Structure 1
Amino acid sequence: MRLSQLVGPRTSKVVELPDPAPAADQVLVEVLACGVCTSDLSAWQDHDSGSPPTRLGHEIAGRIAAVGSDATRWSVGDLVTGLGGEGFASRAVMDAHTVLPIPVGIEPAHALGEPVAVLEEALSRSPITAGSRVAVVGLGFMGLGLVQLAKRHAPGLLVGVDPDPARRGRALSLGADATYGLDDLPADFDVVLEATGVTPGLTTAGSLVRSFGTLNVIGYHHSGDAKMDMNLWYKAVTVVNGFCPDRTRTIAAMATALDLIAQRRFSYAPLVTHRYRLDQVDEAFAAMEAAGPGFVKAVVGA
C-alpha cells in the first residue's frame, strides 16, 4: 500500500508499506476518497522534522478489501464510510462498528461520513423548530453544510454571515434566505450556529443571539483561549459545545446524515471544490490554508 505521512513542517512523503491485516472486529478499506480537515491543519503546519512521522486523514470513504473474522455484517466490495484514521493512504484499517454503507448511486467523495456526522450531531442539540430565526456565522465548509442541514427544519429565517461575498453567494444557492458581511447585521436570533473557529467569529455569533436563545459553538477552537462575551450571561443565553466525544452519538448522526444524502436533501457536490492525488497532500493543505474564493473542501484520492 501507499501512504502519505508528515515528515516536516508542510512536508509530506508517500511511502510504500505492506498492506495491513484487519483484526477480528475490523475491515480493511481501499481508500477512494479522504477529506482534508481543518483540525489537521496545525499538525501539517508545525510538524517537527525531528519527530516521528505523523499520519493524517480521518474523513474516509472507500471499498472494503478484507474483513476480520467477527466483521460478519460486511463483505468484500462493500462501499463504506465512517470513523477512522491514517486515511491519506491507498488502504486503511477501520473499526467494523464505526463504518456505514455509502448510499447507492452516490460517489464516495460525496459521501464522507465523518464531517457531515459532526455537523448533524451538533445540530441535533440546537433547538431549531419551524419558524425559528437561525443564523450561521462562517460560511466555509462547515457553515455551508449547516445551512443545508438547518434548512430541513423549516426555520422562519435562515441567515448566513461571512465577510467573503463568494461564500455568501454559495450560502444563498444552498438555501439561506439572506446573507450579510460584518456590517449592519440583524440580531435577536433564536439559534446561532458558529462555524468560524476563531475568536472574532465567536464574538460576532454571540452578538446575534437573542435573550434566552441558543449559541452553538461548532467551529474548531482547538488551541489557545477563545474569549466568550459575558453579555451572553446577562442575556441568559444557552451556550452549546458543538463538539461530540462520543462515537456512538456520532455514528447515529452519521446514519441520519447519510440518509439525507441518499434522499438528495444534503449534497457534497457544491462543497467538494478541489481534488488531489495522494502525492499532492501538501497542495491540498496549502489550498485549504489559503482559502481562496473558489475553495470550500479538498478531497484526496489514492
Structure 2
Amino acid sequence: MKISQLVGRRTSEVVTADDPVPADHQVLVDVLACGVCTSDIGAWRDHDPAGAPVRLGHEMVGRVVGAGRDAGRWVPGDLVTGLGGEGFATRAVMDANAVLPVPAGIEPAHALGEPVADLEEALSRTGVGPGDRVAVVGLGFMGLGLVQLAKRHAPGLLIGVDPDPARRRRALALGADLVFAPNTLPEEYRSDTGRATDARPAIVLEATGATGGLRTAGSMVRPFGTLGVVGYHHTGDAMMDMDLWYKAVTVVNGFCPDRTRLVAAMRETLALIAERRFSYEPLITHRFGLDDVDEAFRTLEAAGPDFVKGVVLF
C-alpha cells in the first residue's frame, strides 16, 4: 500500500508499506476518502524532523477488504465509515465496533462519519429544543455543520456570527435566520437591554477554536442559558469570561472521549444524511490526492473565503 507520513515541519512524503493486518476486532479497508481535520494541523506544523514519522488522517470512509476473527459481520465490499487512524493511505484498519454502513447513494466524500458525529454528540448535551433562540459563533466547517444540525430542532431563532461575509452567506443558505459579523452584532443579542423579554440566545454554540470566539459567545448567552464549547482549542489557554459565572450559565464541554457515545451520534447523523436532512455537499469545497496532503493542510491553514473543508480522495 501507499501511505503519507510526516517527516518534518509542514512536510509529508508518500511511502510504500506493507498492508496492515487487522486484529481480531478490526476490519481492513481500501480507503476511499479521508477528511483533513483541524485537530491534526498542529502535528503537521510542528513535527520534529529528528523524530519518527507520524501518520495522520482519522475521518475515513472505506470499502472492506478483510476482517479479523471477531469482525465477521463485516464482509468484503461493505462501504463503511467510522473511527480509525492513519487514514491518509490506500489501506487502513478500523475498529469493527466503531464503523457503520455508508447510506446508499451517498458518495464517500459526503459520508464522513466521525466529524459530524462529534458535532451531534456535543449538540445533544446542550438541550436544544423547539422554539429556543440559538446562536452559532464561528461559521467554518464545524459551525456550518452545527447550523444544519440545530435547524432540525426547530429553533425559534437561529443566529450565525462570523467575520467572513462568505461564511455568513453560506450559513443563511443552510438555514440560519440572521447572520452578523462580531463587530456588528446588535446590542440586544449580547447584553441586557432592560426589556421584559431577554432577546439573547438560550443556547450559544462556539465553533471558532479561538479565545476571541469564546468571548463573543459568552457575551451572547442569556442568564441560565447554555454555552456549548464545540470549537477545537488546541493551543494555549482558552480564557473564560467570568460573567458566565454571574449569569449562572451552564458550560458544556463539546469534546467527547467516549467512543460508544460517538458511534451512537454517528448512527443518528448517518440517518440524517440518508434522509438528506444533513448534507456534506455544501461543506466539502476542496479535494486532494494522496500526494497533496501538505497542500491540503496549507489550504486548511489559509482558510480563504472559498474554503470550508478539504478531503483526500483515493
Name the TM tier (shorter chain).
over 0.9
1:2-49 Cα distance to aligned partner (Å, 9 max, x none)? 000000000000000111111121100100000000000011011100
- Rounded to whole Å, the distance in 2 between the matches of 1:183 and 1:218 is 22
CA drift at 1:183: 2.2
Aligned positions of 1:145-294 closer than 5 A = 145-185=145-185, 186-187=189-190, 188-294=200-306
Map Cα deviations across residues 34-69 of structure 1 (whole Å, 9 max, x no partner): 000000001101110000000000000010011112
Residue 34 of structure 1 is matched in structure 2 by 34
Alpha-carbon distance between aligned partners in 2 of 1:5 and 1:56, rounded to the nearest angstrom: 7
1:59-94 deviations in Å (ceiling 9; x for gaps): 000100111121121110000000000000000011
Q: C-alpha displacement at 1:246, in angstroms? A: 0.3
1:126 counterpart residue number: 126
Q: Distance in 2 between matches of 1:24 and 1:189?
A: 48
Q: State how far apart, in whole Å, the 2-side matches of 1:9 and 1:15 are.
A: 17
Deviation track 1:209-242 (CA, whole Å, cap 9, x = no partner) reads: 0000000000001221100000000000000000
- 1:142-193 deviation per Cα after TM superposition (whole angstroms, max 9, x unaligned): 0000000000000000010000000000000000001000123223110000
TM-score normalized by the length of structure 1: 0.99
| Secondary structure, counterpart of 1:121 in structure 2 | helix
Give the alignment's Cα RMSD to 1 decimal.
0.6
Equivalent of residue 307 in structure 2, options 283, 295, 298: 295
TM-score norm. by structure 2 comes to 0.95
How far apart in 2 are the matches of 1:242 and 1:182?
22
CA distance in 2, matches of 1:57, 1:258: 20
Partner of 1:76: 76
Residues 10-25 of structure 1 mapped to structure 2, 5 A cutoff: 10-25=10-25
- SS of 1:211's equivalent in the other structure is coil
Identity %: 72
Distance in structure 2 (CA, Å) of the matches to 1:163 and 1:21? 47
Equivalent in the alignment of 1:135: 135
Larger mean Cα displacement after TM superposition, 66-75 or 149-158 = 66-75
- What number of residue pairs does the alignment pair up? 302
Aligned to 2:194: none
- The residue type equivalent to 1:245 in the other structure is P
Greater CA deviation, 179-188 or 81-90? Answer: 179-188
The amino acid across from 1:141 in the alignment is F
Tell me the distance in 2 between the aligned counterparts of 1:109 and 1:300. Answer: 8
1:247-302 Cα distance to aligned partner (Å, 9 max, x none): 00000000000000000000000000000000000000000000000000000023
Tell me, in whole angstroms, the C-alpha distance in 2 between the residues paired with 1:280 and 1:159.
36
* Structure 2, unaligned runs of 5 or more: 191-199
Give the Cα–Cα distance (whole angstroms) in 1 for the partners of residues 120 and 58 of structure 2: 17
Kindly provide the amino acid, as one letter, of the partner of residue 96 in structure 2.
Answer: A
